[in-house]
Copies of this chain bind each other. A is one copy, B any other.
Amino acid sequence: MIEGSKTDAMTRKLRMGMIGGGPGAFIGEVHRKAARMDGQVDIVGGAFDIDPAKSHEMGRILNLDPKRVYDSYEKLIEGELRLRAEERMDFVAVTTPNNWHYPIAKALLEAGFHVVCEKPMTMDVPEALALKDVVKKTKKVFALLHNYTGYPMVKHARWMVKQGMLGKIQKIVVEYPQDWLLKRLELEGQMQATWRTDPKQAGAGGCLGDIGTHAENLAHYITGLYIDELCADLTSFAKGRVLDDDVNVLLRYENGAKGVLHSSQISTGQENNLNIRVWGTEGAVQWWQENPNYLSFFRQGEPVQILRRGAGYLCDAAKRHTRIPSGHPEAFLEAFANIYQNAISTMRAAIAGNKATELECDFPDVDDGLIGMQFIETVVASNRSEKKWEKFHK
């Protein structure tokens, strides 16, 4: 079936490519499952690995036309641009190690592709600022996978804050403990561990960049608050590890709220224990990623309320990002797919020349990516400093 590129942009499947996500990659496969979930996307090609042989192996696994499995991201851009617009990839997902995010995303955007990108967005703040310019100039859609904001109950928490149901926010505690880097896995050739603990591929933050930024992003998404200054203590507990594997930060927000953010990759027995508590003068919310269908709401002197995904009393954003009825749990993949869903809706609008709605634009973008990089930079600076408070680097 032949598909036009603009006239049917609101209904046809979008053509997706990938840079990264080769055999054995964790997050690349998550991207594919999430992208496929709602039947809005066909994966048509990619450069799946820095090793061309592995890239082609993944092409075979995915049953792709070998002509569209490329040896490098440059060849992908070249090859796709040679195709007719009706065949060409609409957007490309970038799921490489961190150091590649910036050059690849930049090249793709400038070549006219929409981009979905893994976080942290770049290696440092200058790259982030440069990428922001590129996005601005190219007017392409750029979506960043701070995936935890895709959970419906997170969206409802944010809505409650906006509605004033919590009053003035006074205190935030956000945590993200894991244990997968308790031992020096990077010495055993584990692919994930190797690049994530290497400053050349991961950037200035270890645990900080990998999951600390998720915690920061989650707090910002829910509360809308900006950090004014912070005080950080980073540690590399595993002997010989260069980057941090443990992060403790005191936060002061611009509105006067205080916060604590801690994350770790040496917290024995913790899997992916991202959770947040936000306390306001009128109410408080609590959410836990490992059992994500519930949101606790507290008010002084009243029963605790447990809000449940799928319920009729939830806000529009929570409802829009839910696929199956309450009690039939949804989880990580659906939340991830929600980022895709909104990015795709926004791309469709862009292709068709329409304006996306506010609900559709609800996905992390280049501004969130920039804040993430500034957060990493500020925390690293604070960790090195002897003065107590480090102003947030804007």
* Interface, chain A (partner B; CB < 8 A): 1, 11-13, 26, 29-30, 32-33, 36-39, 43, 60, 62-63, 65, 166, 170-171, 173, 175, 177-179, 182-183, 231, 233, 235, 237, 246, 248, 250, 252, 258-260, 262, 264, 266-273, 277, 279-284, 289-293, 297-308, 310-313, 323-334, 385-389
Contacts of A43 in B (CB 8 A): 39
Number of copies: 4
**How far, in whole Å, are A180 and B326 apart by their CA atoms in the complex?**
10
Q: In the bound complex, how far is the Cα of B303 from the Cα of A307, in angstroms?
A: 5
Q: Decide if B333 touches A330 in the complex (CB within 8 Å).
A: yes
Shortest beta-carbon distance from A380 to chain B in Å: 14
Q: How distant is the Cα of A32 from the Cα of B36 in the complex, in angstroms?
A: 11
In the complex, chain B residues whose CB is within 8 Å of the CB of A171 = 237, 246, 264, 266-267
- Bound: A298/B37 CA distance, A: 33
Distance A89 CA – B304 CA, assembled complex (angstroms): 46
Are the CB atoms of B326 and A332 closer together than 8 Å? no
Instruction: Give me 23 A-to-B residue pairs in the complex whose CB atoms sit less than 8 angstroms apart, sorted by A's number.
Output: A12-B63, A29-B323, A182-B281, A231-B233, A231-B250, A248-B258, A268-B282, A268-B299, A269-B298, A269-B304, A271-B308, A271-B327, A271-B328, A290-B329, A297-B303, A301-B311, A301-B313, A304-B305, A304-B306, A305-B305, A306-B306, A329-B332, A331-B334
- Check if A264 sits within 8 Å of B279, measured CB to CB: yes
A36-B36, A268-B281, A323-B333 known; A301 and B307 CB under 8 Å? Answer: no
Q: Are A250 and B269 in contact (CB under 8 A)?
A: no
CB distance from A246 to the nearest CB of B (A): 6
Which chain B residue has the least Cβ–Cβ distance from A27? Answer: B324
Q: Which 3 A-B pairs have the closest CB atoms?
A: A269-B298, A271-B327, A272-B327
Contact A313 B303 (CB under 8 A): yes
Given contact pairs A297-B303, A305-B305, enumerate 9 new A-B contacts (beta carbons under 8 Å): A36-B37, A36-B39, A267-B284, A268-B282, A271-B327, A293-B331, A301-B313, A329-B331, A329-B332
Q: Bound complex: CA of A387 vs CA of B388, how far in Å?
A: 5
Whole-angstrom distance between the Cβ of A253 and the nearest chain B Cβ: 12
In the complex, which of the residues B237, B248, B311, B326 contacts A260, with contact meaning CB atoms closer than 8 Å?
A: B248
Q: Give the docked Cα–Cα distance between A130 and B312 (Å).
A: 43
A1: chain B residues within 8 A (beta carbon): 65
Asked if A279 and B267 sit within 8 Å, CB to CB, the answer is yes
- Point out the residues of chain B lying under 8 angstroms from A272, CB to CB: 325-328
A385 cross-chain contacts in B, Cβ below 8 A: 388
Smallest Cβ-Cβ distance to A314: which chain B residue: B303
Give the docked Cα–Cα distance between A284 and B258 (Å).
28
Interface pair A313/B302, CB less than 8 Å apart: yes
Task: Give A339 Cβ to nearest chain B Cβ, in Å.
Answer: 14
A62 to chain B, nearest CB (A): 7
- A280 partner residues in chain B, CB cutoff 8 A: 268
A30 lies within 8 A of B304 (CB): no
> Which residue in B33, B178, B303 is a CB contact (below 8 Å) of A38?
B33
> Given the complex of chains A and B, what is the CA–CA distance between A264 and B279 in angstroms?
10
- Name the residue on B nearest A235 (C-beta): B258
Is the pair B293, A303 in contact by a Cβ cutoff of 8 Å?
no
The smallest beta-carbon distance between A227 and chain B, in angstroms, is 13
Contact of A266 among B170, B268, B303 (CB under 8 A): B170
The interface centre, meaning the residue of A38, A175, A329 with most chain B CB atoms within 10 A of its CB, is A329
Is the beta-carbon distance between A327 and B246 smaller than 8 angstroms?
no
- In the complex, what residue of chain B is closest to A32 when comparing beta carbons? B39
Question: Contacting A258 at CB < 8 Å: which of B37, B183, B246?
Answer: B246
Which chain B residues border A268 with CB–CB below 8 Å? Answer: 166, 279-284, 298-300
Beyond A248-B258, A333-B324, whether A311 also contacts B300 by CB under 8 A is no
